[in-house]
Structure 1
Amino acid sequence: MPFRIRGIDPAAVAAAFALDDDGLAAIGAVRVIAEAGGGYPCRITLEEAEAGEDLILMNYEHQPASSPYGSRGPIYVRRRGLDRAGPLVLDHVPAQIRTRLLSVRAYDAADMIVEAEVVEGTELEALATAWLARPAIAYLHVHFARRGCFAARVERA
């Protein structure tokens, strides 16, 4: 089953970059400068931020569903992703996801979890292909297992 991985829409987070530190604190966010060595995965571009890049670490509603599984959590976004007209959609697993331990959750059309698994990022392609071949599964959410941060949404292509 072909799939695509969707970054978040930059319009959903762009306003945060116009806020000063007090404004960010009011929404539970902080400005961060990426350090060398990685660890700053941008959810817009689905790439690691480079050392010295300006990011916002913020709480994001990645699962706005009206179900018991509605959820929000921490994400990094970088200014460089704001020039996109919409979310980045890839037909492959990007390196920032492939190199991490993942928690993958499969949801049905009513936004209820029907499967969940912890896998190495290198296993995501096979898992997504198998799960999305099942009609009862509508989409997947991928989280970084160690920190619990939302990574991306996976859909049928």
Structure 2
Amino acid sequence: MNIDNLFTEKTTIDISVVKLNNQKINKTIFNQIVIRSSFDRVYSLSKNVKFLGYVNDKISMLLWTNGVNIYRCRLKDLREFAFLDLENETIEKLKEHYSTHNFNYYQNPYERGDEYGYSDKIWSILTNDEIAEIRSKQEFVKEILNALIGRQIFL
């Protein structure tokens, strides 16, 4: 492979800039923006959410608005939920990212067909419908993460 083919002589790149009151947001202003997830505890989107893009600073942050205020949230939190392994992780790990208040936990592990006794794995505690609901929301979050590619905001 010829290394010279990997380089270009001329490239045009569009850079996204966010403005507040017609002034570019700088790091000082960005660091004062409230950290708040665009999702509630069961990964339903808040009302009127519009994603502006993401900022890579010390950590990657998703910048979003509800039409009234501007917020930022950690992309790491979204990635951790999106790629949570429902077959091998524990219910406690799920609770770190997702509210389980409305789930119908199996009271008896034998209801799930677990002849070996109790397991704290997500798949052995939640119903198939509950797992399907979480998987659906994981896929939605993955779609958002994929759509962010190429939407970096530079401060």
Q: Is the TM value for this pair above 0.5?
A: no
Higher CA-based Rg = 2
TM-score (norm 1): 0.25
TM-score (norm 2): 0.25
